[in-house]
Chain A
């Protein structure tokens, strides 16, 4: 995964780091269990202060995206497993609140609900299908897992048909 920061951008650097790591987790470039570099190594490579990287890692820890595993350093967490119910509830509330705010603003600017939903759908498609800026989603099928890290199920005839339909190939004799 390639982390890019811009010191001239209006966003603080630790915010940029945090956003990019969260985006990478969302795209599947960072999987649960991946070891993030040590604070010193990352600060050195980016040419920034230790404190900045510490802040970014602290924010990510608080939000539940990574945890520190002693000597191994920072490890990407499986959000669903690690986050407490309160945290999940808080995140759900935050999602609802942000969407509500956006919808209100769209309404205040004279937009319609359909436009809002259409835009929301296309952005969601983009986020959930994004292969990433620098390469495709990591192919985990080699280790017997799908893109979410869950073990691959045995493919039955139903699913095989589904897959070949997705590829645009008409299954023969079915």
Chain B
């Protein structure tokens, strides 16, 4: 049961991320193609259409291969864990890492190659910007925007509820709590029951999730709100709706997942469900979460690019950001006060690496993760 769920999760993750990578060029903004600024009317250029199609085809093939590799990896991992020889398990893990990371590397390399081709086409066609316009909407704050940060206070009742539930279940828990199960569902590691090991771990886990997801929400709120100078009102509204949808999804999934996982751990410690079954439920729950996120991205498009069907595409290039986007996806602009900006090739947000705050964040997140791991190891 756990084996099937594990393999299913591996394959589903490889498939989902691979397909999203494959169709990313179709989800990007109208004035960008493979991380190059182009006039919106150029999206109908047969050369650019061919580049996108070829990229998607190659990535679909890579995704199929990586999904099969993930399947094989899962099988290796499960077979290997039953044996004393560590090699099959190690092969399984290595293969799974490859199945997840190699499509990302290939998509990046392909994107760079296509980007160079688009730059050549741009130079040949003479698509230069006659202006460097930027738009900001002022005062119209009744338009859509991301949820306010205060909504993350919803994590507090979740954590308090988990604490109360844990305290209520504590007397009913056995003296040795199951901590690890193998793929057959048999528990093979226990820890003595203390408040820390029984209730501490779910609480610390929920706190960590709340901290990470609140940070993500904060980043969405702090982001630059991009607007297309050729269609300021529609692009501002589309971005607002996109940011709102992403922040709502982040909050709902975060609250449900952190609360759900905390409660599941408590129930497994108390013996109501097996530790193996807990693992299966969590893995199965991951799949709709990932698929939901991808569906959201596909429906809205990056920065809301798919929300309005354009009736007319202009020829004019009103702004050109190419020089600030290093390697197409790394934004570096010391003259820009923004700290978070929407991604150029991908769904979501990235940082302005000219801001020291961006580097502080990049260091801070691993530090937070290490703090979480240390806290858990002290409790259990």
Closest chain A residue, CB of each to CB of B324: A47
Tell me if A163 is interfacial: C-beta within 8 Å of chain B.
Answer: no
In the complex, what residues of B have CB within 8 A of residue A4's CB? 133-135, 229, 232
Q: A45 touching B227 by the CB < 8 A rule?
A: yes
**Whole-angstrom distance between the alpha carbons of A4 and B139 in the complex?**
14
Contacting chain B: which of A36-44, A95-103, A116-124, A148-156? A36-44
Tell me if A2 is interfacial: C-beta within 8 Å of chain B.
Answer: yes
Tell me if A1 is interfacial: C-beta within 8 Å of chain B.
Answer: yes
Q: B138 touching A37 by the CB < 8 A rule?
A: yes
Tell me if A158 is interfacial: C-beta within 8 Å of chain B.
Answer: no
Q: B337 touching A3 by the CB < 8 A rule?
A: no
Closest chain A residue, CB of each to CB of B134: A46
Q: Which of B129, B131, B134, B333 has the most C-beta atoms of chain A within 10 angstroms of its own C-beta?
A: B134
Q: A1 touching B137 by the CB < 8 A rule?
A: yes
Tell me if A68 is interfacial: C-beta within 8 Å of chain B.
Answer: no
* Min distance, Cβ A16 to any Cβ of chain B, angstroms: 10
Q: A48-B337, A134-B232 are in contact. Are A6 and B138 (CB under 8 A)?
A: no
Q: B133 touching A3 by the CB < 8 A rule?
A: no
Q: A2 touching B137 by the CB < 8 A rule?
A: yes
For chain A, what secondary structure do more than half of its interface residues adopt (helix, strand, loop), or is it mixed?
mixed
Q: Report A1-48 residues with CB < 8 Å from chain B CB.
A: 1-9, 21, 24, 29-30, 34-37, 40, 42-48
Q: Which of B132, B138, B139, B224 contacts A44 (CB 8 A)?
A: B224
Q: Report B127-184 residues with CB < 8 Å from chain A CB.
A: 129-140
In the complex, what residues of B have CB within 8 A of residue A47's CB? 134, 224, 333, 335-338
In the complex, what residues of B have CB within 8 A of residue A2's CB? 135-138, 232-233, 236
**Whole-angstrom distance between the alpha carbons of A7 and B229 in the complex?**
13
Tell me if A164 is interfacial: C-beta within 8 Å of chain B.
Answer: no
**Whole-angstrom distance between the alpha carbons of A123 and B336 in the complex?**
36
Q: B139 touching A30 by the CB < 8 A rule?
A: yes
Tell me if A50 is interfacial: C-beta within 8 Å of chain B.
Answer: yes
* Min distance, Cβ A65 to any Cβ of chain B, angstroms: 13
* Min distance, Cβ A23 to any Cβ of chain B, angstroms: 12
In the complex, what residues of A have CB within 8 A of residue B225's CB? 44-45
In the complex, what residues of B have CB within 8 A of residue A49's CB? 335-337
Q: A6 touching B131 by the CB < 8 A rule?
A: yes
Closest chain A residue, CB of each to CB of B335: A49
Q: A134 touching B233 by the CB < 8 A rule?
A: yes
In the complex, what residues of A have CB within 8 A of residue B232's CB? 2, 4, 134
Q: A34 touching B224 by the CB < 8 A rule?
A: no
Q: Which of A9, A34, A46, A49 has the most C-beta atoms of chain B within 10 angstroms of its own C-beta?
A: A46
In the complex, what residues of B have CB within 8 A of residue A21's CB? 138
Q: Report A122-138 residues with CB < 8 Å from chain B CB.
A: 134
Q: A6 touching B133 by the CB < 8 A rule?
A: yes
Q: Which of A24, A34, A48 contacts B336 (CB 8 A)?
A: A48
Q: B131 touching A3 by the CB < 8 A rule?
A: no
Closest chain B residue, CB of each to CB of A2: B232
In the complex, what residues of B have CB within 8 A of residue A35's CB? 139
Tell me if B339 is interfacial: C-beta within 8 Å of chain A.
Answer: yes
Mask of B259-282 contacts with A, CB within 8 angstroms, 1/0: 000000000000000000000000
In the complex, what residues of B have CB within 8 A of residue A6's CB? 131-134
**Whole-angstrom distance between the alpha carbons of A30 and B223 in the complex?**
24
In the complex, what residues of A have CB within 8 A of residue B338's CB? 43-44, 47
Q: Which of B134, B138, B236, B335 contacts A30 (CB 8 A)?
A: B138
In the complex, what residues of A have CB within 8 A of residue B131's CB? 6, 8-9
Q: Which of A1, A9, A48 contacts B138 (CB 8 A)?
A: A1
Q: A6-B131, A134-B232 are in contact. Are A45 and B136 (CB under 8 A)?
A: yes
* Min distance, Cβ A166 to any Cβ of chain B, angstroms: 29
In the complex, what residues of B have CB within 8 A of residue A29's CB? 139
Closest chain B residue, CB of each to CB of A7: B132
Q: B233 touching A3 by the CB < 8 A rule?
A: no
Closest chain A residue, CB of each to CB of B133: A6
**Whole-angstrom distance between the alpha carbons of A6 and B131 in the complex?**
6
Q: Which of A21, A34, A45, A46 has the most C-beta atoms of chain B within 10 angstroms of its own C-beta?
A: A45
**Whole-angstrom distance between the alpha carbons of A47 and B132 in the complex?**
11
Closest chain B residue, CB of each to CB of A76: B139
Closest chain B residue, CB of each to CB of A45: B136
* Min distance, Cβ B62 to any Cβ of chain A, angstroms: 35
Q: B138 touching A3 by the CB < 8 A rule?
A: yes
**Whole-angstrom distance between the alpha carbons of A21 and B138 in the complex?**
10
In the complex, what residues of A have CB within 8 A of residue B229's CB? 4
A-B pairs with lowest CB-CB distance, top 9: A43-B337, A7-B132, A45-B136, A44-B338, A46-B134, A8-B132, A1-B138, A44-B224, A3-B136
In the complex, given contacts A42-B136, A45-B136, what are 12 additional A-B residue pairs having Cβ atoms less than 8 angstroms apart?
A: A2-B135, A2-B233, A3-B135, A8-B130, A35-B139, A36-B138, A42-B138, A44-B337, A47-B333, A47-B335, A50-B337, A134-B232
Task: List 20 A–B pairs whose Cβ atoms lie within 8 Å, in order of A's numbering.
Answer: A1-B137, A4-B229, A4-B232, A6-B131, A6-B133, A7-B132, A8-B131, A8-B132, A9-B131, A30-B139, A35-B139, A40-B337, A43-B337, A44-B222, A44-B338, A47-B338, A48-B335, A49-B335, A49-B336, A50-B337
